[in-house]
Amino acid sequence: MNDSTKIREIEICSGALYDVPNILNKVGINSKILIVCDKNTYKVAGLTLKNVLEDKKYDVQLCNLNRTGNLVPDEKAVGEVLIHLNDGIEAMIAVGAGTINDVVKFVSSKSKIPYGIVATAPSMDGYASSVSPLIVNGFKRTYDATYPIFIVGDTKILKDAPYDMITSGFGDIIGKFTSLADWYIGSLITGEDYSEEIANDVKKSLAECVNVSKSLKSKDESAIGKMMEALILSGISMLKFGNSRPASGAEHHLSHFIEMRELSNGEIRHSHGVKVGIMTKIAVKLYNTVFSFNKDDIIEMMKERKSESKEEFEFRISKNFGNLSSEVFKDIGYYYLDEDKRKMRQERILGNWDTMKKWVSENVPTVEYVDELLNDAGAPSDVAYLDLKYDELSDVLLNAKDVRKRYTILRLAEDINIDKIFDMAIKN
Q: Nearest-CA neighbor of 188 among 341, 407, 342?
A: 407
Strand spans (E) along 161-259: none
User: Taking a C-beta distance cutoff of 8 angstroms, is the pair 293, 398 a contact?
Assistant: no
Instruction: Give the C-alpha separation, 377 to 315, whole Å.
Output: 41
Supply the pTM of this predicted model.
0.90
In this predicted model, what pLDDT tens digit does every residue of 298-318 receive, in sequence order?
A: 999 999 999 999 999 999 999
In whole angstroms, give the CA distance from residue 320 to residue 323: 9
172-230 pLDDT, tens digit per residue, is 999 999 999 999 999 999 999 999 999 999 999 999 999 999 999 999 999 999 999 99
Give the Cβ contact number of residue 138 at 10 Å.
Answer: 14
- Distance, in Å, from the CA atom of 322 to the CA atom of 389, rounded to the nearest integer, reads 21
Statement: residue 33 has pLDDT above 50? yes
- Mean predicted confidence (pLDDT) in 27-46: 94
Q: Is the pLDDT of residue 112 over 50?
A: yes
Assign domain 9-161 to a CATH class: alpha beta
pLDDT tens profile 130-159: 878 787 777 777 788 898 999 999 999 999
- The model's pLDDT over 401-413, given as tens digits with 9 standing for 90+, comes to 999 999 999 999 9
CATH class of 169-427: mainly alpha
The rounded distance, in Å, linking the Cα atoms of 151 and 125 is 12
What does the domain layout of the chain look like in residue ranges? 9-161, 169-427
pLDDT tens digit string along 253-275? 999 999 888 877 777 778 889 99
Residue pair 142/131 in contact (Cβ under 8 Å)? The answer is yes
pLDDT bracket for residue 2 (50, 70, 90): very low
Q: Evaluate if residue 76 carries a pLDDT over 90.
A: no
* Euclidean distance between CA atoms 405 and 369, whole angstroms: 29
